[in-house]
């Protein structure tokens, strides 16, 4: 029908209304009330449904409906995600490296070749991710779209590093066969534990001698390392004993978890003790090298003095540094590594010092500083964030290409890592009912901080497999 402002008019053509008119001869206004109400109700419902569909399409994503304005993740959120990916991938690499050393001690280098190869591939992917992050922090690239792409590249590289380790985790477990060869694996760990326990007293005596011979700055990088090594060894003792008890009871899954926790602690105790011994060797080598380095530096200043005037200010600075080092040698107590480091830096400002005795001095200080920082990150990785790890990766890269330039990022990385640990604090300080050394094991990344007792021990593998020894994943 059609409706106007006056009276109803029948629609032309056949249909229910025309039929009624044919029977009754006319149609009253009362007869049209219900059809009009029905049409109006349909219109209202159709309009309401349209509004709801439109609103739903704009506010949330549903299958088959694409939002006209998809949400854009803020850049700071993407940066945090990329940083978290770097930390997780770096932790996976470090943990895999630790457990791989126990497998190699048990089965030999040939047997672990596939896993060493996977680890090297993961390290390359991670190094590429760190390189992208370093450029990103320097403002490259500049455009926001390109920066988003760079952050996606970081996450992608980290994911690939983890994937390579995850892919080899089942084969690695088959090699170790801890379910069948627990006694042999425990024997390897106990032998290494006994060797470290025997070294601890000697290393502590070495550190005590260093503190009497050199100023506090010379030994600051290893302060507390003796106590932390003993803390890890106490933790290892507890878990080795628990491992043996669980194995005797046939609780294989628990025995494996205790063994992995003990192995992680043993590795870190070894790192602490090696750090003290490395420092002692480096201080002795630096002290022996300083006289020759001073002679080489004087030759470099003489060469630079004959060149353009733009080196005048650098020459003045270099002369001041060399005079200060000579004064420290005469005074008696000084920090050989710091003195050698200052000589190398002063001469590099003149454009020299890359070869000969000064090149050797640069390699000595850089190797020590990079290794010391790596030790700190390894043993405190539960707290160290992405910034420190990125600078450490750059220092490790420079160590093979320009050792004199590796020193600065290594020292800055150590500074940032120590700040991270201070901010993080001890997650279990004041907590009762925890076994000895658990707090240090969580801080060191040996255990995941997920449960009151520190969480499961970590194993060889990437993000998907590294926590496979969790209690709910039973291997009994």
Report mean pLDDT in 10-residue bins for the chain, 476 residues.
38 39 39 37 43 46 59 95 98 98 98 98 98 98 97 98 98 97 97 98 97 96 95 96 96 96 98 98 98 96 81 88 95 95 94 91 98 98 97 97 96 98 70 62 89 84 96 53
User: What is the Cα–Cα distance from 425 to 427, expressed in whole angstroms?
Assistant: 6
Does residue 53 sit within a domain? no
User: What is the Cα–Cα distance from 264 to 379, expressed in whole angstroms?
Assistant: 10
Q: Are residues 385 and 308 in the same domain?
A: yes
Question: Is 88 within 8 Å of 158 (Cβ atoms)?
Answer: yes
Q: Are residues 356 and 207 in the same domain?
A: yes
Look up residue 472 and give its two tokens. Answer: 């709910």
Q: Which domain holds residue 388?
A: 185-443
Give, as one character, the DSSP assignment of residue 311.
Answer: G
Q: Are residues 260 and 380 in the same domain?
A: yes
Look up residue 57 and give its two tokens. Answer: 């399409």
Does residue 308 sit within a domain? yes
The size of the chain, in residues, is 476
Q: Are residues 285 and 330 in the same domain?
A: yes
Q: Are residues 386 and 258 in the same domain?
A: yes
Number of domains in the chain: 2
3-state helix, strand and coil shares in percent for the chain, rounded to the nearest 5: 75, 0, 25
Q: Are residues 171 and 204 in the same domain?
A: no
Q: Are residues 192 and 167 in the same domain?
A: no
Last residue of a domain, one of 125, 142, 176: 176
Does residue 36 sit within a domain? no
Does residue 86 sit within a domain? yes
User: What is the Cα–Cα distance from 436 to 408, expressed in whole angstroms?
Assistant: 37
Look up residue 411 and give its two tokens. Answer: 């020292």
User: What is the Cα–Cα distance from 124 to 130, expressed in whole angstroms?
Assistant: 10
Q: Are residues 112 and 194 in the same domain?
A: no
Does residue 473 sit within a domain? no
Q: Are residues 241 and 278 in the same domain?
A: yes
User: What is the Cα–Cα distance from 15 to 2, expressed in whole angstroms?
Assistant: 13
For 254, other C-beta atoms within 10 Å of its C-beta total 20
For position 221, what pLDDT does the model report? 96
Q: Is the pTM of this model over 0.85?
A: no
Question: Is 124 within 8 Å of 203 (Cβ atoms)?
Answer: no
For position 394, what pLDDT does the model report? 98
Last residue of a domain, one of 176, 207, 233: 176
For position 55, what pLDDT does the model report? 46
How many angstroms separate the Cα of 139 from the Cα of each of 136, 260, 394?
A: 5, 42, 16
Q: Are residues 190 and 86 in the same domain?
A: no
Question: Is 410 within 8 Å of 373 (Cβ atoms)?
Answer: yes
User: What is the Cα–Cα distance from 218 to 211, expressed in whole angstroms?
Assistant: 8
> Which residues are CB-neighbours of 352 under 8 A, at least 6 positions away?
300, 303, 304, 358
Is residue 282 within a helix (H) or strand (E), and if so which, with residue range? Answer: helix 252-305
Q: Residue 425: what are its φ and ψ, rounded to 5°?
A: 70, -170
Question: Is 429 within 8 Å of 448 (Cβ atoms)?
Answer: no
Q: Are residues 119 and 221 in the same domain?
A: no
> Which residues are CB-neighbours of 86 under 8 A, at least 6 positions away?
126, 129, 130, 133, 154, 158, 386, 389, 390
Q: Are residues 248 and 135 in the same domain?
A: no
Does residue 246 sit within a domain? yes
Task: Annotate 465-476 with b (16+ C-beta within 10 A) or e (fewer).
Answer: bbbbbeeeeeee
How many angstroms separate the Cα of 78 from the Cα of each of 88, 129, 133?
A: 15, 14, 12
Last residue of a domain, one of 152, 176, 200: 176
């Amino acid at each position: 029908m059609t409706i106007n402002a006056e009276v109803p008019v029948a629609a032309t053509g056949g249909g229910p209304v025309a039929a009624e008119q044919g029977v009754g001869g006319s149609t009253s206004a009362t007869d049209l009330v219900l059809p009009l109400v029905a049409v109006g109700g349909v219109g209202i419902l159709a309009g309401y449904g349209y509004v709801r569909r439109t609103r739903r399409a704009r506010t949330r994503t549903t299958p088959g409906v694409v939002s006209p304005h998809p949400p854009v993740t803020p850049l700071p959120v993407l940066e945090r995600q990329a940083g978290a990916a770097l930390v997780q991938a770096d932790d996976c690499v470090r943990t895999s490296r630790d457990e791989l050393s126990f497998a190699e001690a048990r089965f030999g280098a040939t047997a672990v070749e596939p896993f060493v190869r996977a680890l090297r591939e993961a390290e390359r992917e991670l190094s590429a991710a760190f390189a992208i992050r370093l450029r990103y922090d320097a403002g490259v690239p500049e455009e926001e779209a390109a920066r988003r792409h760079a952050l996606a590249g970081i996450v992608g590289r980290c994911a690939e590093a983890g994937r390579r380790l995850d892919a080899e985790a089942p084969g690695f477990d088959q090699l170790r066969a801890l379910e069948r060869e627990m006694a042999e694996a425990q024997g390897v760990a106990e032998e290494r534990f006994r060797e470290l326990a025997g070294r601890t007293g000697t290393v502590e005596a070495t550190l005590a001698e260093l503190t009497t011979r050199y100023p506090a700055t010379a030994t600051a990088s290893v302060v507390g390392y003796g106590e932390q090594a003993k803390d890890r060894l106490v933790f290892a003792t507890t878990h080795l004993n628990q491992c043996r008890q669980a194995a005797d009871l046939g609780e294989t899954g628990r025995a494996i978890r205790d063994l992995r926790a003990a192995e992680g602690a043993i590795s870190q105790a070894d790192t602490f003790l090696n750090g003290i011994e490395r420092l002692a060797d480096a201080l002795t080598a630096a002290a022996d090298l300083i006289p020759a380095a001073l002679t080489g530096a004087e030759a470099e200043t003489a060469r630079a003095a004959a060149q353009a005037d733009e080196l005048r200010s650098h020459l003045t600075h270099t002369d001041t540094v060399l005079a200060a080092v000579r004064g420290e040698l005469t005074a008696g107590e000084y920090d050989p590594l710091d003195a050698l480091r200052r000589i190398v830096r002063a001469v590099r400002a003149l454009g020299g010092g890359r070869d000969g005795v000064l090149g050797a001095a640069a390699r000595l200080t850089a190797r020590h500083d990079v290794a010391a920082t790596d030790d700190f990150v390894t043993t405190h990785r539960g707290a160290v964030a992405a910034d420190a790890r990125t600078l450490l990766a750059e220092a490790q890269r420079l160590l093979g290409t320009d050792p004199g330039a590796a020193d600065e990022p290594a020292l800055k990385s150590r500074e940032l890592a120590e700040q991270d640990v201070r901010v993080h604090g001890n997650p279990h300080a004041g907590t009762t009912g925890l076994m000895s050394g658990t707090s240090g094991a969580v801080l060191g990344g040996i255990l995941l901080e997920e449960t009151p007792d520190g969480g499961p021990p970590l194993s060889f593998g990437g993000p998907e497999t590294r926590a496979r020894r969790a209690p709910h994943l039973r291997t009994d």
